[in-house]
Structures are given as C-alpha cells and as structure tokens.
Structure 1
Amino acid sequence: MTDNAFGPLSRPFPLHRVTPGGVEAPVEATAAENQALAVDLDLPAIHRLEARYRLTGRSDRVEVTGRLRASIEQICVVTLEPFPVEIDEEVEIAFATPDPRRKREDAAEVELSADEDLPDELVGEHIDLGRITAEFLALGLDPYPRRPGAAFDTPDEPVAEGPFSRLAELRPKQDDR
C-alpha cells in the first residue's frame, strides 16, 4: 500500500462514539477511492468496495467485527488477462490502548490461546475504518489468481538428446552381429 499516512481510503471513526452495546459503521468507497486503491494493490479495477462494521467496547478497548464485500478484477496468472472476482471477507480485529503500568518484561508473560491475537494499539482518538477495509481487502486477494477454466498448456517437447545419443546410433545393433 502507499506511504500516505491515511492511504487512499480513510474513514476515521471517533472513539468517543463507541459504546459497550455497539455502534454500526458502514464504509463505502467512492469511484476515486476505488481507483486509487486499485493502483496501490496492483489491480486492474475495483468496481465496488463496501464494508459493514460493528464497534463495541470502550474508548480504551474496541472490538471491530463485520464483513467486507468487493467486486474487483485480477490478472489471471495463466492467461495474463483480467477477470472478475468477488471478495467476501469476515473482519474481526481488536484495539486497545497500551497499559502504561505494564513493563516490557511483563509482555513476554502474556498467555494467549491459539485463536486469540494481541490487540492492535489504539493511537489517537480515532480508528480508521477505511484503512481496516483496505487491509482486509488486500488479505482477501488470491496471490495467484486463475480465471475459472484456465490451464497451463504444456507443449509436447521432444525428448532431449543426451550428449552420447549420436554415439548410440553408431553402435552395432544386436541383429548385425
């Protein structure tokens, strides 16, 4: 993605609006944002990009859950032609403010289950839902997209002759003896 601090898709959501009961937050990219994000992700086109999020928690810890849907084009690794792709990604991410009382040494002692990630750090008074949308779109892309039905055609190559194949022709055959 780009070095721009906000990226081509930015939707700052104020932390003071987050409640324990949750709040809904939709994100729909404009045509210009789709075009800029397509350039960043090296895609021929993004036709539609939308996400629906639910933010729950408090201002010091926020859970973001939802779903991202997109209609894009990717380049087939076989035919090198663009083809349409539908993306449908589930989003689940947690944010928390750093605990100033916790020392660095204590961080190594945190026990997590296999399904649990450490929360991302909350910085400032906003969560950028646009950046989350762009990141989960990037995660949902197939790194080796292949158009349905596309297959590599392997040409029938003659068996490569070894360095001594010409000598084999000179050797007398069994019948000649």
Structure 2
Amino acid sequence: MAPETSAPLSQPIRVETIKPRGSHARVTATGDVLAKIARALDLASLESLEARYELARNGERVKLEGEIVAELHQTCIVTLEPFPVRLKVPLKLDFAPEAEVLAAAQRQEEREEKGEIDLEIMLNEADPPEPIIDGMVDLGTITVEFLSLALDPYPRKPGASFDTELGTSKEESPFAVLAKLKRGE
C-alpha cells in the first residue's frame, strides 16, 4: 500500500525491488491527475505526461536514468494566450539513504562554517545524491519536479514580442512619446 501524499502524482517504488542489473519503470499521468499537475504547475493545460526510467541498485544506492515527455499548453506572458509546448527532459539522478545524505550535508555545512572549501565537490560536476526516504523512491514526484524545472518561467508564444504588443514604434521611444504629451503635442 502506497503512503498518503499531497503530491499530484505519486508512484513510489521500494528500493529492495530494484534489481542490481536494472529495472524498468514507467510513469504515466491520465485524467484528473493531469488536471491536478496542470494546476500545481500553473499551466493552461497538460495533455500528456509520461516518463520512462531505468533504475539500477548497488547496495542501498540507486541510479536512475530516463526521459520525461510532456505535451502541454503554457500561457504567453505577452499575449496571455495559451500556446502548445512539447518537452523532452533527459534525467540522471543518484539516490542514497536519507541518513547518508543528511550526514554529508552536515559535514559540508561544518566545513563551510570553518571557511574550508571542498575541492572534491567543486571539481565533481555531478549533483549530490537525492535522499531515499523510508526505503522508497517516488518516481511520480520526481517526474513532476523535473517537469516543473524544465518549464520556461517566462513562456512566450512564438512570434510574440513586447514591441508590437505595446504599440511602440522603432522610430520613437516611449520616453519621446511621454515628452510630447508633457509638452501638449
């Protein structure tokens, strides 16, 4: 039985069920779940969301690789009209037990307080591992989180520009227009 969650999409997988040589997982949102995700991410609509993952376990650690594919409509910040967007988001994550991740974060915080710089972290391009909580990795939550990160925070419909929408011309700046109004022209 899956734990209760307030996330719009939840699909937990127990770490011990992941095979060391790899397990396939698929996350698909449909119906009401698509509408909940759209509301949570402030989208005009979300037509489809699917993620395919390959998971591999090494002891208590997990590696996840895959891709999220979504078809949605965002609202243009210029015209305020919805427009279609298709996203393909590649994803690579490492997971470690929550206690291990918290201990590493605590050690890093103590080093920073002493003014020490951890060159290993600076030289290592990979992000630190995500925590495994209660022996599970929630693939649904990961899917929605990384979809959210892939969205354009200032979506603009193709061809929309502020100049044409605001009625300004290239010959006359808005300040020149205001100067004319002040002079009574």
Per the normalisation by structure 1, the TM-score is: 0.80
* 2:120 pairs with 1:111: yes
* 2:52 pairs with 1:33: no
Structure 2 residue aligned with 1:96: 96
* 2:141 pairs with 1:128: no
CA contact (8 A) 2:15 2:57 kept: no
The one-letter amino acid of 1:134's match is V
Structure 1 residue aligned with 2:57: 57
User: Could you report, residue by residue, the CA deviation over 1:113-150 in whole angstroms, capped at 9, with x for unpaired residues?
Assistant: 34111101111121100000000110110011111111
Structure 2 residue aligned with 1:84: 84
The one-letter amino acid of 2:120's match is E
CA contact (8 A) 1:18 1:59 kept: no
Equivalent residues, number: 161
- Measured at CA, do residues 6 and 62 of structure 1 come closer, stay the same or move farther in structure 2, by a change above 3 Å? farther
* 2:152 pairs with 1:145: no
The one-letter amino acid of 1:120's match is E
- Once the two structures are superposed, the pairs formed by residues 7-18 of structure 1 within 5 Å of their partners are 7-18=7-18
Rg larger for: 1
Following TM superposition, where does structure 1 have runs of at least 4 consecutive aligned residues deviating by more than 6 angstroms?
none
User: Could you report, residue by residue, the CA deviation over 1:41-83 in whole angstroms, capped at 9, with x for unpaired residues?
Assistant: 1111100000000111235110111000000000011110001
Q: Which structure features the higher share of helix residues? A: 2
In the alignment, the residues of structure 2 paired with residue 125 and residue 150 of structure 1 have an alpha-carbon distance, to the nearest angstrom, of 47
Structure 1 residue aligned with 2:168: 155
The one-letter amino acid of 1:160's match is A
- Measured at CA, do residues 17 and 161 of structure 1 come closer, stay the same or move farther in structure 2, by a change above 3 Å? same
In the alignment, the residues of structure 1 paired with residue 38 and residue 108 of structure 2 have an alpha-carbon distance, to the nearest angstrom, of 41
Per the normalisation by structure 2, the TM-score is: 0.77
RMSD after superposition: 2.5
- Superposed displacement of residue 19, structure 1: 2.1
Structure 1: 5+ residue stretches without partners: 167-177
In the alignment, the residues of structure 2 paired with residue 27 and residue 144 of structure 1 have an alpha-carbon distance, to the nearest angstrom, of 27
The one-letter amino acid of 2:62's match is V
- Measured at CA, do residues 136 and 99 of structure 1 come closer, stay the same or move farther in structure 2, by a change above 3 Å? closer
